[in-house]
Chains A and B, each alone.
Chain A
Amino acid sequence: MKTFSKLVWPYMAWITVFIVAPMLLILLYAFTKEGNSVLTLQFTLNNFTRFFSDSIFPSVMARSLKIALMTTLLCILFGYPAAYCISKLNDKQQALAILLVTLPMWINMLIRTYAWRGILSYFDFDSEIKVLIGMVYNFIPFMILQIHTSLSKMDQSLIAAAEDLGANKTQTFMRVIFPLSIPGVIAGITLVFLPAVSSFFIPKLLGGGDYVLIGNLIENYFVSTGDWNFGSAISLIMAVLIIFSMFLTKRIDHQIGEEKE
């Protein structure tokens, strides 16, 4: 194993340059005053007090969290049965079904969202409903794939054992299959919730301009307003919130794991 450990270096270099360094820059911008020159660096907490002193910004954040949560729930609601049904098929059919789930991803997400804009323009839906439809459509494959992986890897003898011990179908599902698929659901939540909470082009395209989420806010402060400091502060607040919610899901995952034992 040790002989291969050097192979990790290209990836380490990659994340240092493209992930760690930009994160540090965001951190720096978030805590400094305007003026992008290094020589005139002035530290401040103003960007953060500004965020929380105006009810607009927290309300946009609450709206983002709400729609991401709704997206995640709907993805579980529709994705779980789909993944379950797929895992019951034979190998060949499963491969085909998984192919069908991933097929739309062969086309760029942006183009598919534009297509949805065309479709949704025929309906008189609320902006929020339109955005929700777009998000669930875009992110549900991640949920299905994760749940399907954990369901299909499941030790089938456990189900046979449950049936042997007199459990009916519902009991087998509730007490054996579902608990064992929780890791897949948790992984799915991570993969759906994260992009949903920070998405900016789906609300921009489907929400009709006046549906602002946190991603749009960040984009606006970087591109349109040119206030990189405040934009960075919003990004940082968002990042902290995401880390916190990930920590929470991990905890839930652990607790369920312990209960099982």
Chain B
Amino acid sequence: MKIGIVCPYSWDVPGGVQFHIRDLAEHLIRLGHEVSVLAPADDETPLPPYVVSAGRAVPVPYNGSVARLNFGFLSAARVRRWLHDGVFDVIHIHEPASPSLGLLSCWAAQGPIVATFHTSNPRSRAMIAAYPILQPALEKISARIAVSEYARRTLVEHLGGDAVVIPNGVDVDFFASAEPKEEWGASTLGFIGRIDEPRKGLPVLMAAFPRIVEECPDVRLLVAGRGDEEEAVASLPADLRSRVEFLGMVSDEDKARLLRSVDVYVAPNTGGESFGIILVEALSAGAAVLASDLDAFAQVLDQGAAGELFANEDAGALAEAAVRLLRDPARRAELSARGSAHVRRFDWSTVGADILAVYETVTDGAAAVATDERVPLRTRWGLSRET
């Protein structure tokens, strides 16, 4: 099958959606499909052979933060050329509602279009105002995929219609077979995520940490992720700061080893998560997971069967649960075993098969994707002699 995938965010900036697209493209290529990814990228960044650059993304304020987006004539022309040259059986657009490549491709293409909705933005006034602009583009999509039941619900609420739920994929064996590192083991808590992004919840964990140390004196906290380390520990008493170890940005290998090594992986995120791929990675590595009870997290953790949940933003509840887990190796082993079995449904072999099933459903008997040419008015009104 010839598959075109549209990535809305810059290829050179690391992010969940980009990684998802990279892994999906590589998985499909391994299965023998022809894949081309259209992504914003600087012209000088080295790209894998399957990625086509759609030009540089421009930083503009959008939706409360500065987003790097692609728009304008040049991008639209590149989208058309890519569609024209590719002759795809199906195109798969990620984030079709963001004013970037996704929306442009929706405008420019006709034929079997699959779209994945990653984020679940709460309904905003801009969204309601934009509805008449979005609708003609979005109604071309033949199949919608939501990454979680939660994302599906918000999608149905905002845009109407329906979607199938296919979770994000993870290479489970990569994490399951990583070598644990001894110095990261023995009574350790792990945290991975942007340090300076409050939504990732490190402040909640910091608030709970003194109470955890009180009960388990030899506990250490390992933090991997970008951000200001000084500022992160500012709220901790001085004598506890040495118990927090910052690893900075880690490679994929080290991330897997870290998740394999820690006793408990803590995900104190306070909101804005529509899936929680990091939890799936932690489960794959066999870590006991303790996460805030966000909708998306509860779903990944099978409503608490594959990992423990605590009340969101409640440092006390977090401390209590963490202490209980740290003291109870049997419970950790039980969670780890259940998590490892549960996480198989997020493996690329399963997720990839489901996504392919969607492609096959929409391409059955349909023509290939083509650029959406405006029919000349004369032809449409039957006045043209040529046709």
Whether A and B are associated in the same complex: the answer reads no
- B contact set with A: CB distance below 8 Å: none
